[in-house]
Amino acid sequence: MKNKKINITLLMGGPSSEREVSLATGRVILNALDKTKYNLTPVTINKDGKWLLPPPDRKFLSGDENKEEKSLVALETGNAIDKLKTERGADVVFIAMHGTYGEDGTVQGFLEMAGVPYTGSGILASALAMDKLKSSELFLFHGLKVPKYLNFSNKQWNKDKDKITTKVSEKISLPCVIKPSNCGSSVGITIVRKIDDLENAVQLAFSYDDIVLAQEYISGVEVTCAVLDEGGDKEPIALPPTQIIPKDSEFFDYHAKYTPGATEEITPPRLPAEIINKIQENALQVHKIIGCSGMSRTDMILGGDGKLYVLEINTIPGMT
């Protein structure tokens, strides 16, 4: 007797600034999953939040508003899950979304309310990991090192711009990193080397979130380390870390992450064994602090002072 195939709905796209990365992740997952074990239904969420199914003769749908895709019958958000459960027999949703809506606990809450199992971390862990301010506060509380930072809201900036500029200059010093608190894929991040460039960097970050971080710039070796849950009572495991060397970017920005050949990735890193072990220990600790499930990837930097700093954690790493 053959084992029954598991029906997987692969969810990708969405309205966030990381939409294209999500679509690329979706393509990789679509091609990688074993078709002898799984029935796959790819669903693309377009920029307006409509859930779209591809026609029978296509495996993938971009979700762009072109003529062909406008003619398709969209799954309305309110009843999309019910239709997928009744018409496609969805057993589990594989979330291949990045950024706001898909990685911040929003879609996780939607699926939980609908009673549909999904991959990855739950609502709280997803929200905490997405919020760089809250996650940094947690890391500090648990004794991990993070770059020095200041945080301020759009309202505070508009009211006390000069005061905040002075605080950034005196307490963080230049160069510094300006980034939105809730965003991924290095979107909205600027390295500020001159105080005259601070305002433009802040305004760019505010275009993605209402909270901005001014963070100490640390020059060093960038590394990233994935963690996987093995299920049951087993402890999560840290995979070998990867050293990140952007070839033509100042840091591991959007271009360096997603342009083929733009970054050299070395696994394991060209670092002493004790440092590699420390990277893995930190990745496991961060995974547990945030309360992640299934998988995570933690980005760190080994500073010139020999200390390892945690930058951020991703609950749905890009699989491009």
The binding site for Mg(2+) consists of 299, 312, 314
Q: Where are the alpha helices (DSSP H) in the chain?
A: 19-32, 67-70, 80-87, 106-114, 123-130, 132-141, 154-159, 161-167, 198-206, 254-258, 273-290
Q: Which of 18, 103, 131, 209 is catalytic?
A: 18
State yes or no: is 291 an active-site residue. no
- Which of 103, 104, 131, 299 is catalytic? The answer is 299
- Tell me if residue 101 is catalytic: no
Contacts of residue 106, Cβ cutoff 8 Å, sequence gap at least 6? 100
Question: Which residues have C-beta within 8 Å of that of residue 120, sequence separation ≥ 6?
Answer: 95, 108, 126, 293, 294, 295, 315, 316
The reply to whether 185 belongs to the active site is yes
Does residue 318 carry a catalytic annotation? yes
Sign of the dihedral through C-alpha 67, 68, 71, 73: negative
Q: Which of 69, 222, 253, 312 is catalytic?
A: 312
Active site residue 38: no
Instruction: Please state the φ and ψ torsions of residue 280, each to the nearest 5 degrees.
Output: -65, -40
DSSP string, 34-46: -TTTEEEEEEEE-
- The answer to whether the beta carbons of residues 295 and 319 sit under 8 Å apart is no
Among this protein's residues, is 65 annotated catalytic?
no
- Say which of 105, 184, 188, 318 is annotated catalytic: 318
Catalytic site residue 14?
Answer: no
Tell me if residue 312 is catalytic. yes
Single out the catalytic residue among 17, 181, 185, 282.
Answer: 185
- Residues making up the annotated binding site are 299, 312, 314
Q: Which residues are catalytic?
A: 18, 185, 258, 297, 299, 312, 314, 318
